[in-house]
Amino acid sequence: MNAYDSDKIALGLDPLGYRLTDSPDKADMIIVNTCAIREKAVQKVFSYLGRVAGLKQIRPDLIIGVGGCVAQQEGDRILKRAPYVDLVFGTHAIGRLPSLLSRLEKKRQQVVDVEMGSRIQEPDGAVIPRGETEVSRFVTIMHGCDNFCTYCVVPYVRGRESSRQPEHILAEIQDLVDNGVREVMLLGQNVNSYGKKEGLPDFTSLLEKINDIKGLDRIRFTTSHPKDLSESLIGAFGRLDKLCRHIHLPVQSGADPILKRMNRNYTSTQYLDKINQLRRVCPDMAITSDIIVGFPGETKRDFDATIALIETVGYDGLFAFKYSDRPNAPATQFSEKVAEHDKDQRLQKVLELQEAITLARNRSLVGQTQEVLVESYRLKPVSGNGGVGAGQWTGRTSTNKIVHMPADEAAQGQAGDIDPGLLIPVLIKKAFAHSLWGLPDGSGARTASGPKGENSHAA
Ligand code: SAM
Ligand code: SF4
């Protein structure tokens, strides 16, 4: 979501004559787009600001702006901690950036805007900064969150949930496709409650409409809340040919007392039931999750229940985090805080377990042909001498696994020319914990945006 917002910021500043640069040393303005989800992310913001302060000393005209969730949370307190910052703008102020900047330039006085409205300004067309074309792009379909999980800062820094109008989303995706994009990742804190509040067509209907966009090859989305994962959405994985066979379905904990105290509104049994339904519709579906270890009051028994759930599901991947107190989040006031070294040990155990499961799941793909959307090409660095060796193509399977294909051997696979944006069948030869390695098998259909019938994954 922050990556999408950063693109929106770059796009909004383009008419003012600002262009992206690849180095802070060359910049007239540095905007730090921030995340407040965990304590560590906030610490990173201030240590980064400390580094850019040195640049401002050398070049006093340099404008330093802080946007995003830390800006929203801290407001003008940022100016006290980092007095060299010129501009603080919150999560709802991105659309107002041009006018904030002209205020700053005219008066040469620090500006803070952390006002939150009920709606966020819509982007005017595709969110692609000048000069950038990519195969896959993010599209935010809703803002904010109404779920108030007790550990989470999002509802306070991103505001209440609000869904964008379907016609704006469809127009933005059409515009992206017209600019060469082949895959979209729909973003929201809880995409499967899309439109409910506004009485709009639901998330499944939105997916159906996006599925009809000609020239688009793949649709992904994140994040789904298990409590709102409906039968119709589960069914969509069997029906919609462009919908990728991957779902990120954060469970957070495998222990019911903890889920209750987190205010997640499902039990571990209900969660596992949804997983079974998904696998019935789509047996080779990839499932990933988020886990928080060391939530206040998490006992060893609770943690063991999380380990058991991870083993039962057999996730394809996990993001695991140590719980940290967040401003305004109710769990900050909960007693029975878990000791830091227990959190460390639990995190380690989750990560080690998951690494083994991911490797086993990836290895089960060796010998199979997977459809890969080619994303990029790069020359591989040769270790030791600082030089570069043969090139390699990189793409993703529908199940969101990264696949590398050595360019020289790919040619031997008689696959013809490979280009970013092509969907190609790839024979998986090797599996690692974080990627697969394969060769185009040259036998199947190669499509750029053609009819999807033969590539359908309907189960
Ligand atoms: N809306 C999504 C959901 O409900 O799953 C994702 C929200 S958040 C941006 C991403 C993840 O950060 C959460 O799923 C949770 O695992 C983690 N997280 C949120 N607050 C946290 C906290 N206070 N301490 C540790 N991890 C946290
Ligand atoms: Fe945070 Fe819960 Fe909303 Fe996700 S669903 S953003 S974890 S409050």
Q: pLDDT tens, 330-363?
A: 999 999 999 999 999 999 999 999 999 999 999 9
Q: Determine which of 41-50, 115-124, 130-139, 165-174 has the lowest per-residue pLDDT on average.
A: 115-124
Q: Which tokens in the block code for residue 218?
A: 């793949």
Is residue 445 pLDDT above 70, yes or no? no
Is any ligand 1 atom within 6 A of the Cβ of residue 222? no
Q: What mean pLDDT is predicted for residues 11-38?
A: 92
* SS3 category, 429: strand
* Exposed / middle / buried, residue 72 (Cβ in 10 Å: 0-12, 13-18, 19+): buried
Check residue 25 and report its DSSP letter.
Answer: G
Q: Provide the H-helix boundaries in 225-373.
A: 231-239, 256-262, 268-281, 300-313, 340-363
Mutate to test the pocket of ligand 1, among 5, 141, 150, 152 (most ligand atoms within 8 A of CB): 152
Confidence of residue 131 (pLDDT cuts 50, 70, 90): low
Among 51-55, 214-218, 262-266, the minimum mean pLDDT is found in 51-55
- CA–CA distance from 217 to each of 152, 220, 278 (Å)? 34, 10, 22
Q: Which atom of ligand 1 is nearest to the CA of 223?
A: 2
Instruction: State the closest ligand 1 atom to the C-alpha of 225, by its place in the atom list counted from 1.
Output: 4
pLDDT higher than 90, residue 186 = yes
Segment among 37-41, 104-108, 394-398 with least mean pLDDT:
104-108
Q: Tell whether ligand 2 has an atom less than 6 A from the beta carbon of residue 190.
A: yes
Contact 226 CB / ligand 2 (< 6 Å): no
How many A from CA of 246 to the centre of ligand 1? 19
What is the residue with the minimal CA distance to atom 4 of ligand 2?
189
Share of the chain above pLDDT 90, in %: 78
Query: Ligand 2 centroid vs 151 CA: distance in angstroms?
Result: 8
Question: Is the CB of 42 within 6 Å of ligand 1?
Answer: no
Which residues on neighbouring strands pair with residue 436, listed in sequence order? 403, 431
Cα of 328 to ligand 1 centre, how many Å? 15
pTM: 0.90
Which secondary-structure segment (H or E) carries 410?
helix 407-412
